[in-house]
């Protein structure tokens, strides 16, 4: 029963927030579980364990930061109308692919 609830929870997270966010959440959950196991069972926490936890935390924080990439510019001219139409169709397909992750699965 617990496995079923866990799978439904993960699939719901993917449907609502996307795969990348779900991967970050599951990684953070694993890190917290590991840390709690060291605290509860009083295992010795070595420098490598601390370094690993620091690297996981840094990765999650860096992934949560917004992207600062500039948006691509589209230059249209009267001479290259056919090329610009083809480019606009290509640009629309790229935008559709980006929006596809945000669409609900259900």
pTM, whole model, 2 decimals? 0.43
Domain map (residue ranges) of the chain: 2-67+75-100
Going by C-alpha positions, the residue among 87, 88, 24 that lies closest to residue 59 is: 24
Cα–Cα distance measured from residue 61 to residue 85, given in angstroms and rounded to the nearest whole number: 40
Give DSSP secondary structure letters for 1-34. Answer: -HHHHHHHHHHHHHHHH-HHHHHHHHHHHHHHHH
Q: How confident is the model at residue 91 (pLDDT cuts 50, 70, 90)?
A: low
Per residue in 24-78, pLDDT (tens digit) is: 888 888 878 877 888 888 878 789 988 988 998 888 788 878 777 766 665 555 5
Structure tokens at 62: 């860096």
């Amino acid at each position: 029963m617990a496995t079923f609830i866990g799978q439904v929870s993960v699939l719901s997270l993917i449907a609502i927030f996307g795969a990348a966010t779900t991967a970050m959440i599951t990684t953070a959950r694993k890190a917290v579980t590991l840390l709690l196991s060291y605290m509860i069972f009083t295992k010795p926490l070595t420098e490598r364990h601390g370094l690993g936890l620091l690297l996981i935390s840094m990765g999650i924080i860096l992934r949560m930061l917004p992207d600062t990439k500039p948006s691509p510019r589209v230059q249209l001219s009267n001479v290259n109308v056919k090329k610009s139409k083809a480019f606009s169709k290509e640009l629309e397909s790229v935008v559709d692919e980006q929006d596809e992750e945000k669409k609900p699965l259900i």
